[in-house]
Chains A and B, each alone.
Chain A
Amino acid sequence: MKLIEAIIKPFKLDEVKDALNEIGIEGITVSEVKGFGRQKGHTELYRGAEYVVDFIPKVKIEIAVADELVAKVVETIENTAKTGRIGDGKIFILSLDEAVRIRTGEKGDEAI
């Protein structure tokens, strides 16, 4: 099992969600996050003063998947979240030791 964390541009969220649904992913967790990568921040103007805002709003998606689905999920996110411009985001793949469905007590792949 793996936990896939993808940081993407907020406006791509719906597209990515629909694409993941199509390949059979049933559950995702989404959070609004802020950060910066090579894109760095942006500037805001107030009365002639320019402020550099370091952190840019992004969306983080977390998906727990069985090992055999990892490649497909990553590929799907990569394809749908891509604009080709700087700031498209990152995908991280983490090892997942265990998963438990609270309602039934199922564990491992069954719980995902």
Chain B
Amino acid sequence: MIQRCIKLLVALMLLVTPLTVLAEENATSAAPATVSVQTPAPAAAPAPVAAPAAAAPEAAAKNVEPVLNTGDTAWMLVSSALVLFMIPGLAFFYGGMVRQKNVLSTIMHSFVAMGIVGVQWAVVGYSLAFSSDLGGLGFVGGLSKALLNGLISFKDGNPVYALFQNVPTAPGAIPEYVFAMYQCMFAMITVALISGALAERVKFSAYCVFVLLWTTLVYDPLAHWVWMADGWLFKKGALDFAGGTVVHLSSGISALAFITFLGKRHGFPQERMAPHSLPLTMLGVGMLWFGWFGFNAGSAIVGVNCSDAAGGLAGLAFATTTIAPAAAGLSWMVAEWIHAGKPSALGFGSGIVAGLVVITPAAGFVQPGAAIIMGLAAGVVCYLGVLMKAKLKYDDSLDAFGVHGIGGTFGALATGIFATVGATGLLSGNFQQFVTQVIAVVAAAAYAFIVTLAISFVLDKTIGLRVEKEDEIMGLDQTQHSESAYN
């Protein structure tokens, strides 16, 4: 059955490929104003497109004096709030999937990330990710913007707000505070994604310390690598529109690293550990999709034209963020229907999330035809990724690795295949872009995996990663928080 699915998918891809290429050719004539790099130039060409922080404000000042663009600012404020809304969405998504005795602890895993990262980001996180490079290696930023220093100054007693301008020649800009907070939401949700693998057995104290360490040691450098103008992957021209590599691949791979020290839940896989409330989970899927528009369409600020943060590129990203998850929900559903006999609600919801994950790195680089193919493939790839858990017997409680790790990897590679807007991919003859994507995926995955292994090891030897067996059986809500969800 699975083989038949794969054959069908391959046939479909072969069928649509010429259409995509054709669409790309047409795009040259009917190109939106935002697209500046249309020629299939290899290597360096996509570089200016990829980064959200393509030019730090100080660099921008050398060219054109930035002018505040209120439309872009309004959209970025909304986008930031939308991304924040994904976190309660994630909490419900995960919370519904655990057993009744662990729902509050699982929800807390997402919420406490808002608390810890909210402060961490202001203190050092933003600076480590988005200030000028430390040592010139493209590895991590310095501390020049610690405590969001320099984002405001005073002239004659009046506040003057620093403006974030992506492209030096573009006139439009947004307050850097807005950019910093937009990126803060990304950092919050990324670490919360990992909690899906740890659910139902992790010690809350260890988790809190993990959130702080992981965000500082893994997320902040990775964001610098990929999105900051002087990050080494940015310089190589790696494409990551809204966080396929930085957010999903890194969290998914880290989830896998963490559970190697954490071990399986007692009773896994023999005991029935069915979701206690699928309506909660489906509500979470809906909230995630809604918030994801801020995640992806907000990331148009990373595009070639900063004044397009609320323009055509945002429109394209919005469209692909609608289309790809729709297709992925359907393909997961069909794959499950064929393989397991029935289309489950959890399967359809999971497919939507898989589609969102896979389109994230590509949202503004591909056209709708490619978004459909990526979505259809995402549903099947992530479904197979989840099945792998049962075969290999590792306990990724809520499939953080299966959906985000595998989906993020696939999305990052698929971006290198299907990109046609503002960059070109394999199908447009740019083999180099695909190679760059592979390098970015391997480097980010290896870094995230190794550092997370080290953090987990240290925590395991000091605080201890997991609760006592008795506490686990009683449930984490009672033993970690002295609460119960339903009374």
Question: Is A47 at the interface (CB under 8 A from chain B)?
Answer: yes
Question: Is B399 at the interface (CB under 8 A from chain A)?
Answer: yes
In angstroms, Cα B340 to Cα A49, docked, is 9
Docked-complex contact A46 and B340, CB < 8 angstroms: no
* B268-321 interface (Cβ within 8 A of A): 269, 272, 274-275
B216 to chain A, nearest CB (A): 32
Residues of A within 8 A of B80 (CB): none
In angstroms, Cα B346 to Cα A50, docked, is 13
In angstroms, Cα B274 to Cα A53, docked, is 10
One of B340, B386, B389, B402 near A50 (C-beta < 8 A): B340
Residues of A within 8 A of B390 (CB): 48-49
Question: Is B364 at the interface (CB under 8 A from chain A)?
Answer: no
Question: Is A44 at the interface (CB under 8 A from chain B)?
Answer: yes
Question: Is A45 at the interface (CB under 8 A from chain B)?
Answer: yes
Docked-complex contact B346 and A46, CB < 8 angstroms: yes
Count contacts on A: residues with CB < 8 A to the other chain.
Answer: 10
One of B274, B339, B383, B387 near A46 (C-beta < 8 A): B274
Residue in chain B with minimal CB distance to A51? B272
Residues of B within 8 A of A45 (CB): 336, 340, 342, 344, 346-347
The binding surface of chain B is classed by DSSP as helix
Docked-complex contact B387 and A51, CB < 8 angstroms: no
Docked-complex contact A53 and B272, CB < 8 angstroms: yes
One of B269, B339, B342, B383 near A49 (C-beta < 8 A): B269
* A46-91 interface (Cβ within 8 A of B): 46-53
Docked-complex contact B344 and A46, CB < 8 angstroms: yes
Docked-complex contact B340 and A48, CB < 8 angstroms: yes
Docked-complex contact A44 and B340, CB < 8 angstroms: no
Residue in chain A with minimal CB distance to B339? A48
Residues of A within 8 A of B272 (CB): 51-53
Question: Is B195 at the interface (CB under 8 A from chain A)?
Answer: no
A22 to chain B, nearest CB (A): 39
Question: Is B69 at the interface (CB under 8 A from chain A)?
Answer: no
Residues of A within 8 A of B387 (CB): 48
1/0 per residue, CB under 8 A from A, across B334-349: the answer is: 0010011010101100
Interface centre among A44, A49, A51, A53 (most CB of B within 10 A): A49
Docked-complex contact A51 and B340, CB < 8 angstroms: no
B195 to chain A, nearest CB (A): 17
One of A48, A51, A52 near B386 (C-beta < 8 A): A48
Residues of B within 8 A of A48 (CB): 336, 339-340, 383, 386-387, 389-390
A48 to chain B, nearest CB (A): 4
One of B269, B342, B386 near A47 (C-beta < 8 A): B386
In angstroms, Cα B387 to Cα A49, docked, is 8
Residue in chain A with minimal CB distance to B387? A48
In angstroms, Cα B274 to Cα A46, docked, is 7
B372 to chain A, nearest CB (A): 24
Question: Is B350 at the interface (CB under 8 A from chain A)?
Answer: yes
1/0 per residue, CB under 8 A from A, across B386-410: the answer is: 1101100000000100100000000
* A25-54 interface (Cβ within 8 A of B): 44-53
B96 to chain A, nearest CB (A): 11
1/0 per residue, CB under 8 A from A, across B361-389: the answer is: 00000000000000000000001001101
Residues of B within 8 A of A46 (CB): 274-275, 344, 346
Residues of A within 8 A of B269 (CB): 49
One of A47, A50, A51, A52 near B350 (C-beta < 8 A): A47
List of 10 A-B pairs having minimum Cβ-Cβ separation, nearest first: A48-B387, A51-B272, A45-B344, A48-B386, A47-B386, A45-B340, A51-B274, A46-B274, A49-B390, A46-B346
11 A-B residue contacts at CB 8 Å?
Answer: A44-B274, A45-B342, A46-B274, A46-B344, A47-B347, A47-B399, A48-B339, A48-B386, A49-B390, A51-B274, A53-B272
18 further interface pairs, Cβ-Cβ under 8 Å (given A48-B336, A48-B387, A48-B389):
A44-B274, A45-B336, A45-B342, A45-B347, A46-B275, A46-B346, A47-B386, A47-B399, A48-B383, A48-B386, A48-B390, A49-B389, A49-B390, A50-B340, A51-B272, A51-B274, A52-B272, A53-B272
Residues of chain B whose beta carbon lies under 8 Å from any beta carbon of chain A: 269, 272, 274-275, 336, 339-340, 342, 344, 346-347, 350, 383, 386-387, 389-390, 399, 402
